[in-house]
Structure 1
């Protein structure tokens, strides 16, 4: 019976070789992966989070122009998967105060010019001017009046606290020398002010879209005995108060057949801005400006088509995202993709770009780094071998020579224990031959 013959002397050296050194491969790839992960982490660190799916806007009283516009915004944003919550208010001043108060939970709001004053509004920015908000001053009198100063001693409805109507009315009254004690000032607006004027409970009413409905104003235009005040000094007012604009209702604009009005009527109108906190996501900024274009971009009696929204700065700094939008339009992804998909792709690119820029070129370096790591281990032994050979060439005592040769034997033992990939076996055996050469020569 034949017995198999074991050949340990032949098999044992082969255990020193492997197809690949996984240890060296790991230590070669790990730094590249680590740098890539740092790049991805840095991108996430400086990138805004995904845009929220819910926004809150502070608008105005029920039925006001501010509230009606907010409803239109809500429908447009809903088409893109964003829910707009509408929070009613008394008007522009309350809207501004809510935007300035972090605890209010408000993200955006309509604010007319002249509201800021000395308030610290540095945390707010504008997405653009969105429309003019004309001030309509209706009065009851036997004959037309031409100056606001003629309202001294009258009963005046100037709007509630927190409304832009009240702020503008008080400014104009003060400019005409009418102080609170010089007239009876009533906190009435909208429908309440309209009926008070019709029922002769007040002599004049200041109305604006932030606290009154278009229906209220139309009803007063056609009520006998009630007149729409013509701001004949509108040019002077607009120069004194830069946030006020002069608008003109042309003769016959209401009714050509009856020629109503019988002459041009000058109005004063602050510009309303869409104001947001500086935490607003850039993607939502674009979406809101798009909605503003759809809502406010059409021609009306008091504006030309495409006049609004406009990148005009008044009391609020125009946001960088708004500037970019007005200059070059929406970001590329948002032009050709639905909002939700563009947002997803945009965030994916944050991960993909560091991988593309760091990982792929880094992986191309892996073979060279792996080769350098293996060869450096062999070259390290060559450096030790050269130093021993130089020692043997020098004049050594017998004891020193024996010690050097002993060190050479130790090196050969350690080299024989070294694990090397098969592709580097030729260099491994050349090293062993050189060790034997040095021993035999000296």
Structure 2
């Protein structure tokens, strides 16, 4: 039986005989150096996808927090740990993403929020849902937002999408801070209680900053009305990031017929915003989760409507564009996440080195052949000198014999040269040329001797 060591020795000996020891050693050193660099690169680099992610969500109980929790459970199946960072809402999420000191990777941001900020370091993974604005109020039915002029309005906590959108819509209706309409920033305590106790006349709420339990309580409270945006079409055309949404009759409670009629609402889409540099594998996992969570039909959406790649203020992620066009990358589509990460890390290190090793291994034989050829070419220079002397001194008595003796010495020396079998053609060509020169010298010597006899 052959041991691996003896097999390697036999293989090396065979290669040495065929190509020469120098070439085999040179190529072996190149390969070993490449392997060493690859191993070092694997130890020092971290090209594999991270296994942790931080999401800026929203206040406890909000739609954003519940969405983040669902993402957390889905990504956990792939071995990715998701940390959920509570926030004040959409605008707060945007500010955290922009702040380099904040350890945040992705966040939920409402369309229209990023209009006045530098979002060059951010990218959008697409829109994942609609976020309707709901206005609850007491008293006589209201038709227009301008009907709330002079009242006390709770427009949500600063930093929330509700607060920002409410200010924008009220401004379109001539209601601005500092006027006779009192704009309150989220009264402390229970907002429903504030409305019921007549501390406020109307309450603006959205899912990014309000508990779904709170919304359900408001909808089931007698004498509290949900504002119907009869001008929804006009709002959607005046404000580019707003959409007209219809809450169908009985959509919230069929048994109690809530609402009692179709109600028109308006609202932006929610975008999944990431920092520039998010690993493509994590981007794919997030979009997988978005499809699982948001791809089902709902009150305001059709099946498969979300997630969708629509550009607003933040540029679209190239990885997201690739995902929407062709799905996950080949590695992460073929292998489990942890294995695909290892393969990706190895390929990131190995491919550049392989691309360098291939030309290096191709050049090594050429350089070695050049070295052998250089050693043989020096004997061609000797042959040229002998031929020149033979031509120049053809009639000199005894010169041809002297040149033949010199040529015999050259032939004897060349015969002792050892070259690998792969380069034998060079040596045999040289010996053939030596024989050619010898034949010419011998012919000249014979011709000169014959002439001497005639004379």
Partner of 1:131: 129
Could you tell me how far apart the structure 1 residues matched to 2:415 and 2:236 are? 95
1:89 pairs with 2:87? yes
Q: Is the 8 A contact 2:390 2:441 kept in 1?
A: no
1:158 to 144, 152, 155: 155
Q: How many residues are treated as equivalent by the alignment?
A: 418
Counterparts of 1:190 and 1:263, CA distance in 2? 32
Residues 116-170 of structure 1: CA distance to partner in whole angstroms, max 9, x if unpaired? 12211112111110011111111111x1111111212211111111111100000
Alignment match, 1:23 = 22
Q: Does 1:329 align with 2:330?
A: no
Tell me the residue number matched to 1:176. 173
Query: Residue 128 of structure 2 aligns to a residue in which SS?
Result: strand
1:116 and 2:114 are equivalent in the alignment: yes
2 CA distance for matches of 1:430 and 1:347?
Answer: 51
Query: How far apart are residue 371 of structure 1 and its match?
Result: 5.9
Structure-1 separation of matches of 2:381 and 2:392: 17
Please give the secondary structure, in 1, of the residue aligned with 2:204.
strand
- Counterpart contact for 1:190–1:211, Cα < 8 Å: no
Equivalent residue number for residue 144 of structure 1? 141
SS at match of 1:126: strand
Q: Are residues 1:63 and 2:53 paired?
A: no
- Is the contact between residue 158 and residue 189 of structure 1 (CA under 8 Å) also seen in structure 2? no
Partner of 2:11: none
Structure-to-structure mapping, 1:337-376, within 5 angstroms: 337-350=335-348, 374-375=372-373
Per the alignment, do residues 251 and 190 of structure 1 end up closer, same or farther by CA in structure 2, a change over 3 Å counting?
farther
Would you say the 8 A contact 1:65–1:214 is kept in 2?
yes
Q: Give the distance between the partners of 1:440 and 1:80, measured in 2 at CA.
A: 84
Q: 5 Å matches for 1:250-289?
A: 250-289=248-287
Q: Distance in 2 between matches of 1:109 and 1:19?
A: 64
Q: 1-side partners of 2:407 and 2:390: how far apart?
A: 11
SS in 2 for 1:121: coil
- Tell me which residue corresponds to 2:438: 437
- The answer to whether residue 164 in structure 2 is matched with residue 167 in structure 1 is yes
Q: Distance in 2 between matches of 1:275 and 1:79?
A: 22
Match of 2:101 among 98, 103, 118: 103
- CA distance 1:267–1:359, shift in 2 (3 Å): same
Judge which range, 280-289 or 147-156, deviates more.
147-156
d(CA) in 2 for partners of 1:147, 1:423: 93
Q: Could you state the TM-score of these two structures normalised by the residue count of structure 2? A: 0.80
Counterpart of 2:304 in structure 1 is: 306
What SS does structure 1 have at the residue aligned with 2:113? coil
Distance in 2 between residues matched to 1:200 and 1:279, nearest whole Å: 49
CA shift in 2, pair 1:304/1:430, >3 Å: closer
CA distance in 2, matches of 1:425, 1:255: 93
Shift of 1:28: 6.2
Structure 2 CA distance for aligned equivalents of residues 184 and 297 of structure 1: 40
**What's the TM-score, normalizing by structure 1?**
0.82
From the superposition, tell whether residues 124 and 154 of structure 1 become closer, same or farther in structure 2 (CA, over 3 Å).
same
Cα displacement string for residues 14-50 of structure 1 (whole angstroms, at most 9, x for unaligned residues) = xxx977631244456767888x78x989x99xx9821
The one of 49, 55, 74 equivalent to 1:76 is 74
Instruction: Compute the displacement of 1:341 (Å).
Output: 1.5
Which whole-Å CA distance do the structure 2 matches of 1:225 and 1:187 have between them?
23
CA gap 1:386/1:115 in 2 versus in 1, 3 angstroms: same
Compute the displacement of 1:95 (Å). 0.8
Segment of structure 1 superposing worse, 279-288 or 367-376: 367-376
Report the 3-state secondary structure (helix = DSSP H, G, I; strand = E; otherwise coil) of the residue aligned with 2:270. strand
Task: Name whichever of 162-171 and 364-373 sits farther off.
Answer: 364-373
Q: Distance in 1 between matches of 2:426 and 2:245?
A: 91
2:452 alignment partner in structure 1: none
2:127 partner SS: strand
Deviation at 1:286, TM superposition (A): 0.6
1:192 alignment counterpart: 190
Cα displacement string for residues 203-261 of structure 1 (whole angstroms, at most 9, x for unaligned residues): 11110111101110110011112111111111101100010111011123234454332
